[in-house]
């Protein structure tokens, strides 16, 4: 199977392009990773490059030992991914202790995987465990409206979740577990990876103050759709706050509770506090 013709590669490229068109990927902003299925690895194995040297990941992910990932390259622009994926994207393989990676395809003009590789892989490790292997996509984008909100809302999971839920009835259905928020940290290393992966134990969305968002999902559509839903809700909230500091009416805690039965979701009571 030609690697570029594989369905997962096509899905990866389309998602990157969709994110770019949303305006979430200025310059090299954002990164994307996909954990390959065993059948996908087998279908392309004959076309992978001979293994090169192992490079430290910068953290330890034993739960992902031996797995293959498609990842965006550090410094690569999302706007170029659909134009020249072999330059912008890599397939990497992890070693049998989950501490090193080697490039098996892509990045033909040189370079390495995204600087956020520790966060991507630590998120994948958590999600593989808590979803029984269902989640395969981790996506980081510089989502304009969500970033703007991190300057004016308290940086708590409770406030962000509740305010975002109130902006569109579908929000508590799309992310019933809520969203996690972390205050400003230096990106690109193990510390922010640890904090983000802790949030991924219970949420599928982690917001990085003054930086962007991470989403996790089963496939490209669900993960992109989640990011899109949160970011649209943030846009509505900004429009509301721009018109008036107070809301004349909104979706109430009891309204949310009545959604639970019909939409088969459980909404944690800690997000349904009285204001």
By CB under 5 A, which span of 37-45, 157-165, 210-218, 238-246 interacts with Zn ion? 210-218
Determine whether 274 is an active site residue. no
Cβ atoms of 44 and 3 closer than 8 Å: yes
- Determine the residue with CB nearest Zn ion: 212
Selected catalytic residue, list 40, 67, 116, 163? 116
The nearer residue to ligand 13P, 34 or 165, going by C-beta atoms, is 34
Site residues for ligand 13P, 9-38, by CB under 6 A, read 28-31
Site residues for Zn ion, 211-240, by CB under 5 A, read 212
Local structure of residue 200 (DSSP, 8 states)? T
Distance CA 160, CA 227 (A): 14
The Cα-based distances of 232 to 59, 93, 148, 226, 268 in angstroms read 33, 35, 13, 10, 22
Cβ atoms of 33 and 138 closer than 8 Å: yes
Number of separate helices (H) and strands (E) present in the chain: 11, 9
- 112 touching ligand 13P, by CB under 6 A: no
Tokens read off for 199: 């949030």
Per partner kind, with CB cut-offs from 5 to 8 A, the member of ligand 13P, Zn ion, none near residue 75 is ligand 13P
The nearer residue to ligand 13P, 19 or 30, going by C-beta atoms, is 30
Distance CA 120, CA 188 (A): 10
By CB under 6 A, which span of 112-120, 144-152, 167-175, 218-226 interacts with ligand 13P? 112-120
The nearer residue to ligand 13P, 135 or 140, going by C-beta atoms, is 140
In 55-161, the DSSP E strands lie at 55-56, 68-72, 89-94, 100-106, 137-141
Per partner kind, with CB cut-offs from 5 to 8 A, the member of Zn ion, ligand 13P, none near residue 115 is ligand 13P
Cβ atoms of 134 and 207 closer than 8 Å: no
Torsion region of 110: left, alpha or beta (phi above 0 gives left; psi -120 to 50 gives alpha): left
Per partner kind, with CB cut-offs from 5 to 8 A, the member of Zn ion, ligand 13P, none near residue 40 is none
Q: How far is the CB of 187 from ligand 13P (least distance, A)?
A: 4
The nearer residue to ligand 13P, 28 or 229, going by C-beta atoms, is 28
3-state helix, strand, coil in the chain (%, to 5): 45, 15, 40
Per partner kind, with CB cut-offs from 5 to 8 A, the member of ligand 13P, Zn ion, none near residue 28 is ligand 13P
- 74 touching ligand 13P, by CB under 6 A: yes
Local structure of residue 51 (DSSP, 8 states)? P
By CB under 6 A, which span of 8-16, 113-121, 151-159, 253-261 interacts with ligand 13P? 113-121
The nearer residue to ligand 13P, 127 or 140, going by C-beta atoms, is 140
Catalytic residue list: 116
Contacts with ligand 13P by CB under 6 A lie at 28-31, 72, 74-75, 114-116, 140, 187
Give the interface with Zn ion as residue ranges (CB under 5 A): 212
């Amino acid at each position: 199977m030609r690697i570029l013709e594989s369905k997962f590669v096509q899905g990866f490229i389309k998602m990157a392009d969709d994110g770019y068109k949303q305006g979430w990927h200025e310059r090299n902003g954002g990164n994307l990773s996909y954990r390959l299925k065993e059948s996908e690895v087998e279908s392309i194995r004959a076309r992978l490059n001979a293994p090169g040297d192992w490079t430290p990941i910068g953290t330890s992910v034993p739960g992902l030992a031996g797995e293959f990932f498609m990842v965006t390259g550090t410094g690569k622009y999302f706007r170029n991914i659909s134009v020249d994926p072999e330059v912008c994207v890599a397939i990497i393989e992890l070693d049998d202790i989950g501490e090193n990676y080697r490039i098996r395809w892509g990045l033909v003009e040189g370079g390495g995987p995204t600087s956020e590789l520790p966060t991507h892989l630590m998120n994948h490790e958590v999600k593989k465990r808590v979803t029984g292997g269902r989640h395969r996509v981790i996506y980081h984008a510089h989502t304009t409206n969500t970033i703007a909100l991190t300057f004016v809302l308290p940086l708590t999971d409770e406030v962000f979740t509740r305010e975002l839920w109130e902006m569109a009835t579908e929000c508590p259905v799309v992310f019933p577990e809520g969203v996690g928020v972390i205050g400003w940290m230096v990106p690109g290393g193990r510390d922010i990876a640890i904090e983000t992966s802790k949030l991924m134990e219970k949420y599928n969305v982690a917001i990085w103050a003054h930086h962007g968002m991470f989403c996790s999902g089963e496939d490209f559509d669900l993960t992109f759709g989640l990011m899109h839903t949160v970011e649209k809700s943030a846009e509505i909230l900004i429009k509301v706050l721009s018109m008036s500091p107070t809301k004349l009416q909104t979706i109430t805690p009891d309204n949310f509770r009545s959604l639970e039965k019909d939409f088969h979701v459980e909404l944690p009571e800690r997000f349904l506090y009285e204001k």
